[in-house]
Amino acid sequence: MNVLVINCGSSSLKYQVIDSETEEVLAKGLCERIGIDGRLVYQNKKNGGEKEVSEVAMPTHKQAIQLVLDAIVNPKTGVLKDLSEIGAVGHRVVHGGEKFASSTILNEEVLKAVEECNDLAPLHNPANLIGIRACQELMPNVPMVGVFDTAFHQTMPEKAYLYGIDYDYYEKYKIRRYGFHGTSHSYVSKRAAEMLGKPYDQVKTIVCHLGNGASVCAVENGKSVDTSMGLTPLEGLIMGTRSGNIDPGAMEYLAKKENLNLEQVVQILNKKSGLEGLSHISSDLRDVRSAAEEGKPEGIRALEAFCYHIAKYIGAYTAAMNGVDVICFTAGIGENAGGIRSKICNYLGYLGLKMDEEANKVEGEERIISAADSKVTVMCIPTNEELAIARETVALVTK
Ligand code: ADP
């Protein structure tokens, strides 16, 4: 079956067409600047085609998706003859609250429940819903599935998801840890068990998803038992532009000193902090790393803090699971930056962890990067959220 995978944001939309039998990506691309002017990127992966970029007006998401569908069936560069060859659409949905512990077929009742989660992810969920509605209008007879970033973490025990605040706030407003990147943490931890040749339900894994957004997840016997992101994706690690953990008291202090309101402070923590805020260079790890390699203190301090916080979480999650068998690195930084993986693992000698520095030179490939006599296996595993979404989608629509 051919599955169209859609990840719809407020002004952009990523898509892939995946043949679920061969798991081959037939086409992929993105729409950018939706509602502003519009830019369509399309790549026919089937014949190894180059990326085609066209500036084309897309005032609405529906028009953007129409352009994507036109490109997919374009007689010259398309990968399908007819839209009827799309068997299902899988949508990434950021927040499923406590309502969704797994992926689900999207019907009116489910969409209402997703809408009720909008308050929890005001930047993401409404955009996800717009993408779903637009696809439904353009492909009314094609089954659609929602795959939630939060779903995998719904197995967390109460002690891990409750914050130390008045329990009434949890009961009234559902303020708690939800966690994100669930599709990636699930995919990577499963792959790790497969690569080890061990049953998924008998391995203790820590997954470090290190991209612009970054989170760590403790997966015990196939279940997420803790994760660093919380009610929102702001909690946890130092990220590209997000601060991660800070003393909530610092927010009031900063607001007073700089004469800001709460929204402005949160905006700073989301957009002007993290690697960018610490380094004053860039939110992109490569730029920060280059500066550090040149000996610039602003690069060094950002990089050191970034790695230290990750190592602390690995220590915490080893305690949470009373041990760890595998540590996995994934996403842009985790997959490609061997030096960063080494720096993090240098904190973990007490676990009996030893790296294989030659193997750790790997970029963007699945590989064991710890030494043969290491007590903990360390792996580089490229994530593939689109494939995971396609698999979930097919599983549900063929049930
Ligand atoms: P997201 O999907 O969250 O936007 P990505 O997973 O694409 O993010 O990761 C982006 C990050 O990965 C950036 O900080 C970038 O610098 C880093 N990155 C990408 N390629 C490399 C590389 N070859 N070496 C080091 N870092 C890299």
Q: What is the mean pLDDT of the chain?
A: 97
Please give the domain boundaries of the chain with CATH numbers for all domains: 2-148 (3.30.420.40), 199-385 (3.30.420.40)
Q: How do residues 376-393 score in pLDDT, each as one tens digit?
A: 999 999 999 999 999 999
Which DSSP string do the residues of 16-40 spell out, in sequence order?
Answer: EEEETTTTEEEEEEEEESTTTS-EE
pLDDT confidence of residue 122: 86
With the most atoms of ligand 1 within 8 angstroms of its CB, the residue from 282, 293, 336 to mutate is 336
Ligand 1 site, residue 332, Cβ cutoff 6 A: yes
| Active-site residue, 82 included | no
pLDDT confidence of residue 381: 98
% residues pLDDT > 70 (the chain)? 100
Ligand 1 site, residue 333, Cβ cutoff 6 A: yes
Q: Model-level pTM?
A: 0.95
Residue 301 Cα, ligand 1 centroid: separation in angstroms? 19
Ligand 1 site, residue 284, Cβ cutoff 6 A: yes
Q: How far is residue 284's CA from residue 303's CA, in Å, rounded to a whole number?
A: 11
Token digits for 329? 């690195």
For helices 262-271 and 248-258, angle between their N-to-C axes, nearest 10 degrees? 110
Residue 308 Cα, ligand 1 centroid: separation in angstroms? 18
Q: How do residues 260-283 score in pLDDT, each as one tens digit?
A: 999 999 999 999 999 999 999 999
Ligand 1 site, residue 336, Cβ cutoff 6 A: yes
